[in-house]
Amino acid sequence: MLQAESLTRSTNVSAPKHADFAVETAAAKKELEERGYAHVQGACTAADVKTINGILEKLWRKRAGFNEGNFYDLVSDDDEGDKPMKFPQIINPNESAPELRKTAYFKRIEAMAKELLGPEARFSFDHALRKAPLDGPMTPWHQDVAFRDPSIEYRELSFWMALQPTTMENGCMRFIPGSHKVGLLEHRPFQNNPKIHVLECCGQFDEDSAEYVPLKSGDLTIHTGLTLHGAGPNVSKGYRAGYVIVFELPPRPLATGAVSPWLAHRETTRQMRARRWRSNRLNVAVRAWRYVRRNELTSLSTWHNLASRVLERSGMIKRRAG
């Protein structure tokens, strides 16, 4: 969980040569500390927006990652087969399209993350979201860390970039300012349905204090894992899409035995697909290679240790005692 004091500034980061980079980063740091979110205009060039949109469009069409549980409908309790999805999401699209991490936009976000979190900040994951036209559902109020292991402290920032203008009509982002300072609130499965992936916050907060943030194409918002946020429905005639990159500091265990009871009895079709895929030993090498590529590992000993852990978790070798 990212606390205000986790936001640091490093003078050793090699930032992109952008005239307003230092000013934008300093302003974003202040907004994040005070409000839990920040708005950065023109973060992605029109050329990179076009490139990213083109890459993601191919992934949307082929439902990239569906069998392994990385492509799913956030608000449906049954997204099996070829059913149309109202609010599909792709987790880690970079695994299907590594070129997403080679754009100038990604490099700029990486530099900004290291300025905001510190030089140890590392890429965690990315995801893409797309709301269907006319009846794309609302995104319920939630905190990102509500989806995560409650025994771990996550210090992360999400960079949410608009792939077209986002408005009140098509469901722009909205935030509860200062919510990152109150800790993790109570959540539950959306509509109290444990088969739906997305969670909704049912703790105490003032929805009337919400601030809506319309974005131009290429603008972004940044928020912490504890910032309460959501978005309205898409009632426009076009898709509303966003691309999110998450950077984090190395997670660390919490001293207290925190629990998230809303995670205990969830059973989504996405989870079932993911378990089937991971239980197939033929996919062990795929998982190992993706981990290596994501973390840019080059040490031979690191490769060996990683392979041992993956094989142990898959039951292909026995864990050594001691």
Residue pLDDT, tens place only, 113-167: 999 999 999 999 999 999 999 999 999 999 999 999 988 999 999 999 999 999 9
Closest CA to 254 of 182, 149, 157: 149
The second-level CATH assignment, the architecture, of 4-264 is Sandwich (2.60)
Contact 151, 255 (CB under 8 A): no
**pLDDT score at 118:** 96
Each residue's pLDDT tens digit, 56-104: 999 999 999 999 999 999 999 988 888 889 999 999 999 999 999 999 9
- Mean pLDDT, all residues of the chain: 86
Handedness of CA 291, 292, 297, 303 (dihedral sign): positive
Tell me: the pLDDT tens digits for 25-49?
A: 999 999 999 999 999 999 999 999 9
Q: Which of 2-16, 75-89, 221-235, 237-251 has the lowest mean pLDDT?
A: 2-16
Rounded distance between C-alpha atoms, residue 201 and residue 205, angstroms: 9
User: Where exactly are the structural domains of the chain?
Assistant: 4-264, 280-322
Any bridge partners for residue 127, and if so which? 91, 244
> What sign does the dihedral 298-302-306-308 (CA atoms) show?
positive
User: pTM score, two decimals?
Assistant: 0.85
